Every structure is written in C-alpha cells, then in structure tokens.
Structure 1
Amino acid sequence: MLTGDSIPFSTIQATLREAIAEMDRHGLGVIVVVEPSGELAGIFTDGDLRRMIARGEPVFEQPLKAVMTPSPLHAMADTPAYDALNTMEHHQITVLPIIDQTRRVVGILHLHDILGKGAFKFNSAATDDRTH
C-alpha cells in the first residue's frame, strides 16, 4: 500500500491539467481526489482520460470535479488484503483508495502491491521441477 507522499493526490478544485501532471509525476495512472479536509471525493484514472479523448471531449478545459468518478469504491484501513483484492477483482479495478473512519485518505492499494510488483509468476518454468 502506498502512503504519505507516495499517494497521487489532487484536490477537488484542481484543473484536469494539474491532475494529469500529478498523475504523471507518480506514474500510477490514477489520481485520488480529495476535499480540502482530506476526505475522499473521487478518483480519476488514465482510463477515464483515454475515454474522454476517444469521445473527442476537450480534455484540458475540464475541471477535475466534472470528470472524476465521485464516491469511488474504497476500503477501510483495517480491511484485510484478501477482502480488498476480492473487491478489486469483482469490480475489475486495479487501484483502491484506503480511508480511515473519518473518510480521510490514508493510502492507496494497487494490484501490484498485492501481487508483489513482478515477483509473482503464474507460469515459471525456471522454478517448476515438473517441467523436466
């Protein structure tokens, strides 16, 4: 789970241009949108951006609030990892904001965090003795 300065944040008042710059700076393809109080307000992903471009929408002229997904799926800070993974799998998402009891964002869980950022292999002949 990413926490602190590793979380790609933007406030609800930001422009889409500012949000994309922050998304790019973190390299995750997602930006968590928060209220000035830090409470979760929405999420915006690179997929949302691709769909806007495909529809021919004016990208940079949009306020982030107008194009984000409001009230996104999330998990509580004490949610077990397997429950978070089930939520991600069921809804076919790769990123899940983590909030505390006051709805403040305390982290972001990326599918790669659960699967080990490349350490997890489905088929690895080098480590499977049954292939010889």
Structure 2
Amino acid sequence: MGNPQYPALDERTLCALAVNVINTEAAAISALADRIDSNFAAGCRLILGCHGRVVVTGMGKSGHIGGKIASTLASTGTPAFFVNPGEACHGDLGMITRNDVVLALSNSGETAELLTILPLIKRLGIPLIAMTGNRLSTLARQSSIHLDTGVQQEACPLGLAPTSSTTAALAMGDALAVALLEARGFTREDFAFSHPGGSLGRRLLTFVRDIMHTGDDTPVIGLEASVRDALLEMTAKKLGMTAIVDGAGTIQGVFTDGDLRRLLEKAQDIHATPITAVMTRSCVTVEGSLLAAEAVRIMEQKRINALPVVENGRLIGAINMHDLLRAGVL
C-alpha cells in the first residue's frame, strides 16, 4: 500500500522519470569524450611512472566513487588503495609516501577535508591528480594535473543529489584504469591472478590436469577387450566413455555411450564383438596442459561429453562435462 502523504504516480510517469535520469547521465558521460586530452595522457604517464601506489581520496559520494576507482585500478594492474581524507587528517596521512601519486575527487573542488591535507601533500612533493567539476577550484588549481568531470546538470530534479557528477567521475576513473591496463600490456591471465575466486579466474587458471580423473579412476581397456568389457568399464568409472590403449599405453580409440546405443540398435552381440570392430579410432583428445575452458569449447564444438587426456599420445587421464561444471569452469 502506498503512503498517503505521497502523491500517487502512474507507471508511465515513473518510467518517464527513470528514462530522464538515464538520458541526463548518458549526456554527462558523452560530454567527457571532448575532455580526453593532453591532461588525461599526462595523468596516465604520471601513474605509469609511479614507483609507489595510487592513493585515491574523496569525501561523501565522491569517496564512494573513489573507492570503486581504487578497486578497479588495483584489479587491472595499477596498485591503488582508498584513503578517507577525514581520517587522513587524524593519522592516516602516514599511509601516503613520497613514491605515491594522489588522485583526489571532489565535484566542487573545495571539499574542506581535501583542502586540509593539500598543503601536506604538496610539502612532501607528492604528485596530485585532481578530478573535479570546477577547473577554477582550489583543488584544480593546486593539482599537478586536472581532469575535468563537470556536468551541465545533475539527474536529481532538485539539482542537489550527486547523480550525473558521480557517474561522470566514475566513467573518468574507468577510462584511466583501462588506458593504464592497455599501456601496461595487462592480460586476461593477469586479471585472473587478481581474481582467483571469480568465474573468470577459474576459467583462466584451471587446467585440464587440475580436474581430470587419473590412475584407477580413468576408464581404459586394452585392444583385446570385447564390447562387454567396455560396457563394464564405462559403468564402473561413470564418465560415459572408455579409452582403448595398446600395450604401451598409447591411445588407439574410444568407445562412448553413443557408440553403445548405435551398436545395440544393430542387435550385435556385445559378448562376441571385439572393441576394435566398433571403437572410434580417430578420437578427439586433449592434453593436461590445456586450459579447462578450452576443453569446454572443444566438447561443445564436437558435441561430445567426455575426453581422454594424453601426453605424447599416451593416456594419462579423462575428463567430462560434469568435472568442468563442478570446477566452476562452465
């Protein structure tokens, strides 16, 4: 039930308000493109030459945006952390060293807590990149490099709540992070090392050898086996297939659930039929050093659910879709 003290708004009005917010913020971000200039490039070079870390700071909503920017920088190859300027005034300023670069966010450029620590930053000779909406502000004028994130209007109809301005600052922070990522040659593998617990980390850091079945858990029979032997091995190992190897352990083929169904449709005697008569000789295999995500791609492309794992042609294990699912690779 609605609160009687608030006027009832119909669905169309509510949606129109939301669309106006999105359009206003989109325009604010779009306007930033014309301000990506030599100052932006100089900021990137300053950070790339930094031997310490990027210390991001800001109060209130700018502080929240600053925290996200610091996190994005850190996860994309640029060591960074966030310091609340209010706390910095009471001891946390010791977290900043002469080898660092400070990135300060303030839409007005006149935030009292930032201006309080500004002289100390300047005295230490620490480079300061300011991200403000007012290029004539104290913070902008005192900075080594200024990035203009000013907006024509906030999305808030009262023009009070930071909306477009915080969105613009966030976009500028992302632009910095991505430009630095590219400049450093940061790769997907580097990103995965920073996110080992995430799905991307698992996809990029998990190899077939990490999750494959080995030893007695590997479904395998010899060339002398019958289809009945293959069926018993597949049933025991529960991977939906068995590999067939010669006396040296070199894989010669595979026999799968699908092969068995096709065989039964022909009413062949599984006791008398040798496996060599019905096995798939040109079988698909993978090596243990292959990324598990690549094994998924191969299975999907070939429409198969299990793969023998080999090393120099010799069988060393097996893997199926359930293993990849349990490992979080799918």
Regarding TM over 0.5, the answer is yes
Matching residue within 26, 39, 45 for 2:237: 26
Once the two structures are TM-superposed, the CA of residue 24 in structure 1 deviates from its matched residue by 1.5
Matching residue within 77, 84, 87 for 2:298: 87
Please give the secondary structure, in 1, of the residue aligned with 2:213: coil
Tell me the amino acid that sits aligned with residue 11 of structure 1.
Answer: G
Please give the secondary structure, in 1, of the residue aligned with 2:317: strand
Aligned to 2:215: 4
The list of structure 1 runs, each at least 4 consecutive aligned residues, that deviate by more than 6 angstroms after superposition, is none
Aligned to 1:48: 259
Q: Which has the higher strand share?
A: 1
Q: Please, which runs of 5 or more residues in structure 2 have no aligned partner? A: 1-211
Please give the secondary structure, in 1, of the residue aligned with 2:304: coil
Determine the C-alpha separation between the residues in 1 that align with 2:230 and 2:214. 18
1:62-101 equivalences in 2 (<5 Å):
62-101=273-312
> Please, what TM-score do these two structures have when normalized by structure 2?
0.34
Please give the secondary structure, in 2, of the residue aligned with 1:42: strand
Aligned to 2:249: 38
For residues 87-125 of structure 1, what are the alpha-carbon distances to aligned partners after superposition, in whole Å with 9 as ceiling and x for unaligned?
Answer: 100011000111012x111111111111118x899xxxx
May I ask how many residue pairs the two structures share in their alignment?
Answer: 119
Once the two structures are TM-superposed, the CA of residue 22 in structure 1 deviates from its matched residue by 1.6
Please give the secondary structure, in 2, of the residue aligned with 1:69: coil
Determine the C-alpha separation between the residues in 2 that align with 1:52 and 1:18. 14
Tell me the amino acid that sits aligned with residue 285 of structure 2.
Answer: H
Is 1:108 the counterpart of 2:321? The answer is no
Please give the secondary structure, in 2, of the residue aligned with 1:107: strand
Q: CA RMSD in A?
A: 1.8
Tell me the amino acid that sits aligned with residue 17 of structure 1.
Answer: R
> Please, what TM-score do these two structures have when normalized by structure 1?
0.82
Instruction: Identify which of structures 1 and 2 has the higher relative contact order when contacts are C-alpha pairs closer than 8 Å and 6+ apart.
Output: 1
Q: Which has the higher helix share?
A: 2
Determine the C-alpha separation between the residues in 1 that align with 2:218 and 2:257. 15
Q: Is the 2:239–2:306 Cα contact (8 Å) retained in structure 1? A: no
